[in-house]
Amino acid sequence: MRVTQGCFSFLPDLTDQQISAQVQYCLGKGWAVNIEFTDDPHPRNTFWEMWGLPMFDLRDAAGVMMELTECRKVYGDRYIRMSAFDSSHGWESVRLSFIVNRPAEEPGFRLERHEAEGRKIRYTTKSYAADRPEGVRYGDK
């Protein structure tokens, strides 16, 4: 099941050229672009690991793309996303985020029903991938 989080996630995967254009747009707006990765696809997992530091003061997308290539080399079997942070007063938050890399196979989620007191049911989403330990959830890496 294809994970849809952030911008563009209902579109086909972006090509590197398209990613580069999006990054350039962010840089043009003066936002700092960060690369983040995770292997826990749960929608509530908002804080992903950062690949290096946020990249402030960049002028051209080539620098970000260089880091993305590096990150893919190491974590190519996981989800990688770009987030663009706007540090200007009043915003000081992420303005845009989109997935740029996803595992070859996304096993999806199951719904768990927990029968609580009475006939009440509590629902939980669990990703199949998260059944395996962290770091080996996708592929053999």
Partner 1 sequence: MNAPVPSAGSPEREALPVETVDLRREFAEVGIGEVLDQLERELIGLKPVKTRIREIASLLLIERIRQRMNLMSGVPTLHMSFTGNPGTGKTTVALRIASILHKLGFVRRGQVVSVTRDELVGQYIGHTAPKTKEILKKAMGGVLFIDEAYYLHRPDNERDYGQEAIEILLQVMESQREDLVVILAGYGDRMDRFFASNPGFRSRIAHHIDFPDYSDDELQAIAERMLHDMNYKFSSGAREAFVRYIALRKTQPLFSNARSIRNALDRMRLRQANRLVADLDRVLTADDIMSLEASDVLASRVFGKADPA
Q: Pseudo-torsion of CA 85, 75, 47, 53, nearest 10°? A: -40
C-alpha distance from residue 139 to each of 40, 75, 105, 111 (Å): 14, 11, 9, 23
What is the rounded CA–CA span in Å between residue 110 and residue 98? 24
In contact, 107 and 128? CB cutoff 8 Å? yes
Beta carbon of residue 15, minimum distance to partner 1 (angstroms, whole number): 18
Which of these ranges, 34-42, 64-72, 112-120, 125-133, lies near partner 1 under the rule CB under 8 A? 64-72
What is the rounded CA–CA span in Å between residue 41 and residue 100? 14
Quick check: 73 binds partner 1 (CB under 8 A)?
A: no
Choosing from 11, 62, 74, 136, the residue that interacts with partner 1 (CB under 8 A) is 62
Quick check: 57 binds partner 1 (CB under 8 A)?
A: yes
Task: Name which of 36 and 77 has its Cβ closer to partner 1.
Answer: 36
Q: Which residue from 77, 126, 81 is spatially nearest to 105, judged by alpha carbons? A: 77
Q: Which residue from 135, 21, 4 is spatially nearest to 77, judged by alpha carbons? A: 135
Beta carbon of residue 91, minimum distance to partner 1 (angstroms, whole number): 22
Question: Which amino acid is present at 52?
Answer: G
Which of these ranges, 56-64, 88-96, 110-118, 120-128, lies near partner 1 under the rule CB under 8 A? 56-64
Quick check: 63 binds partner 1 (CB under 8 A)?
A: yes
Which of these ranges, 5-13, 63-71, 72-80, 133-141, lies near partner 1 under the rule CB under 8 A? 63-71
Task: Name which of 53 and 136 has its Cβ closer to partner 1.
Answer: 53
The residues that touch partner 1, with contacts defined as CB under 8 A, are: 52-53, 55, 57-64, 66-67
